[in-house]
């Protein structure tokens, strides 16, 4: 970027200097041209006023040495005298522009290119009292010769100016880029602002993305560490039980107990692995989940039926209230969402407690759209305020031993959160420690 800006600045400067020089040549040549004509006019006037035309032959010889040509023309256009050519051989001059003009208005001038491009001939003519015309002319450089003779100086100046521009461009680019480089090195600093106000929204966006990337990287790292830790526990116990059986020292009764332990740990491992796989599938399918029309009430009913045995085991009653209501969703995901919320409501409940699942549509008064609401309410142990923000994080549990003893993996609500995001739904958690929890999911499609 630095190099590119540098090159652009030098290019623009060179172009500007080059154009200025060419323009100046034209301006200078115009002045030069005016000056030559002015001089010729002065000579002609002087000769006319001082009546030097009487001795034109004498003067002509002297002026010849100075490169000035004198021509005396009669009122009919015939050439009476010329200090550079034989007047008898010269054609009638009444048609020449400067002569015609002088005959008509008293004075006339013309500039004609000579055969070579290098010179131009300047003519100035004045009418005399005897109605004849005196013409003074001189060869001078044309615009090309003026330009080419000045070219070495022009090129020298151009080179010096370009070098100067390169040095200036180098410093200027450095100054321009410095705040951006500084920013790139201090992306972690949240309060970093720019010297360029136009860059502020861009910087905020980059900083936000940078923070997200860092957060994601940290989450991924924590997740990997947690997964390893969670897998290690059941595997260690499986390995321990197996080792005890292997030594042959365990009684038959112990072997049965150890086998039960191995079975439990293996099941735990399986559940854990299934949840991990499910989370990574949800991560990947965020954009491509296929949706269909589903009846939320019907699906909640199926879930309640499926979990009623489990609820009975925990001595918790489970019931469904509400009315049919249709949503656009992914069937498997909505099943998982219902299962995880209801399963938690049963597992974190007290004996004799209850779980109520409610489904109903709700018309929005403000914009006339219809929302579909699912609420899973329990009378269980509740979630302390300080944990409520974090229970949707992967592997976050309020009471680790209770979660594990009831078969929890710490991933259920992380899966729920993902599913809610995929369905563009909203969620509300209301919980009071010791009284119960209610989780509402609001679908707007």
Applying CB under 6 A, does 316 fall inside the site for ligand ADP? no
Least separation in angstroms between residue 384's CB and ligand ADP is: 9
| Smallest distance, ligand ADP to C-beta of residue 341, A | 8
Question: Distance (Å, rounded) from C-alpha 439 to C-alpha 428?
Answer: 6
The distance in angstroms from the start CA to the end CA of the chain is 47
**83 is a site residue for ligand ADP (CB under 6 A):** no
User: Residue 108: left if φ>0, alpha if ψ -120 to 50, beta else—which one?
Assistant: beta
Query: If binding is defined by CB under 6 A, does position 397 make contact with ligand ADP?
Result: yes
Under rule CB under 6 A, residue 120 binds ligand ADP: no
Q: 338 vs 413, which CB is nearer to ligand ADP?
A: 413
Taking the C-alpha atoms of residue 210 and residue 194, their distance in angstroms, rounded to an integer, is 16
Q: Shortest distance, CB of residue 394 to ligand ADP, whole angstroms? A: 8
Q: Which of 227, 231, 398, 427 binds ligand ADP (CB under 6 A)?
A: 398
Could you tell me the smallest distance in angstroms from the CB atom of residue 6 to ligand ADP?
56
433 is an interface residue for ligand ADP by CB under 6 A: no
Q: Is 380 in the site for ligand ADP (CB under 6 A)?
A: yes
**Window 215 to 254, contacts with ligand ADP (CB under 6 A):** none
Which helix (H) or strand (E) element contains residue 426? strand 426-432
Residue 320 near residue 301, CB atoms below 8 Å? yes
Selected from 325, 381, 422, 425, the binder of ligand ADP by CB under 6 A is: 381
Number of H helices, E strands in the chain: 11, 12
Beta-sheet pairing, 370-378 with 436-443: antiparallel
Q: Which two tokens stand for residue 116?
A: 């070579």
Size of the site for ligand ADP (CB under 6 A): 23
Stretch of 60-68, 229-237, 306-314, 379-387 lying at the interface with ligand ADP (CB under 6 A):
379-387
DSSP codes, 87-144: GGGPPP-TTSHHHHHHHHHSEEEEEEE-SSTTEEEEEEEEE-TTS-EEEEEEEEE-HH
Choosing from 25, 173, 265, 344, the residue that interacts with ligand ADP (CB under 6 A) is 344
Residue carrying the six token digits 């209230």? 321
Does residue 412 bind ligand ADP (CB under 6 A)? yes
The single residue among 399, 429, 430, 442 that binds ligand ADP, judged by CB under 6 A, is 399
Rounded to a whole number of angstroms, the minimum distance from the CB of residue 379 to ligand ADP is: 10
410 torsion bin: left (phi>0), alpha (psi -120 to 50), beta (else): left
Kindly state whether residue 318 participates in binding ligand ADP, applying the rule CB under 6 A: no
Q: Where on the chain is the footprint of ligand ADP (CB under 6 A)?
A: 340, 344-345, 348, 378, 380-383, 391, 396-399, 403, 408-414, 437
């Amino acid at each position: 970027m630095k190099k590119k800006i540098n090159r652009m600045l030098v290019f623009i400067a060179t172009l500007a200097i080059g154009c200025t020089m060419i323009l100046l040549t034209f301006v200078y040549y115009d002045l030069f041209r005016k000056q030559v004509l002015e001089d010729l006019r002065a000579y002609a006037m002087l000769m006319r006023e001082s009546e030097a035309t009487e001795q034109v032959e004498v003067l002509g010889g002297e002026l010849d040495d100075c490169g000035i040509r004198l021509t005396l023309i009669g009122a009919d256009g015939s050439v009476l005298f010329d200090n550079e050519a034989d007047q008898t051989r010269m054609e009638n001059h009444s048609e020449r522009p400067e002569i015609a003009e002088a005959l008509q208005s008293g004075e006339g001038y013309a500039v004609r290119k000579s055969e070579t491009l290098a010179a131009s001939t300047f003519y100035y003519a004045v009418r005399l009292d005897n109605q004849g015309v005196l013409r003074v002319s001189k060869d001078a450089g044309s615009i090309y010769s003026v330009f080419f003779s000045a070219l070495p100086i022009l090129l020298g100046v151009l080179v010096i100016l370009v070098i100067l521009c390169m040095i200036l461009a180098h410093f200027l680019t450095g100054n321009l880029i410095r705040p951006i480089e500084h920013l790139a090195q201090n992306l972690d600093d949240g309060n970093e602002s720019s010297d360029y106000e136009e860059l502020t929204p861009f910087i905020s966006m980059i900083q936000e993305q940078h923070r997200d990337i860092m957060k994601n990287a940290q989450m991924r790292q924590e997740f990997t560490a947690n997964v390893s830790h969670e897998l290690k526990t059941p595997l260690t116990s499986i390995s321990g039980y197996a080792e005890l059986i292997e030594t042959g020292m365990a009684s038959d009764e112990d072997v049965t107990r150890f086998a039960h332990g191995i079975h439990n740990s293996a099941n735990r491992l399986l559940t854990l692995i299934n949840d991990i796989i499910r989370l990574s599938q949800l991560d990947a399918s965020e954009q491509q989940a296929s949706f269909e029309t589903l009846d939320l009430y019907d699906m909640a009913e199926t879930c309640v039926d499926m979990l009623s045995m489990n609820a009975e085991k925990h001595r918790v009653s489970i019931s469904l209230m509400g009315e049919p209501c249709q949503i656009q969703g992914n069937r498997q995901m909505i099943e998982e969402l219902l299962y995880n919320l209801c399963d938690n409501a049963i597992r974190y409940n007290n004996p004799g407690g209850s779980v109520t699942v409610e489904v109903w549509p709700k018309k929005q008064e403000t914009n006339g759209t219809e929302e579909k609401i699912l609420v899973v309410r329990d009378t269980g142990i509740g979630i302390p305020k300080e944990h409520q923000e974090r229970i949707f994080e992967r592997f976050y549990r309020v009471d680790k031993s209770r979660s594990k003893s009831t078969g929890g993996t710490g991933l259920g609500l992380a899966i729920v959160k993902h599913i809610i995001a995929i369905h563009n739904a909203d969620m509300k958690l209301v919980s009071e420690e010791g009284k119960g929890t209610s989780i509402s999911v609001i679908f707007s499609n």
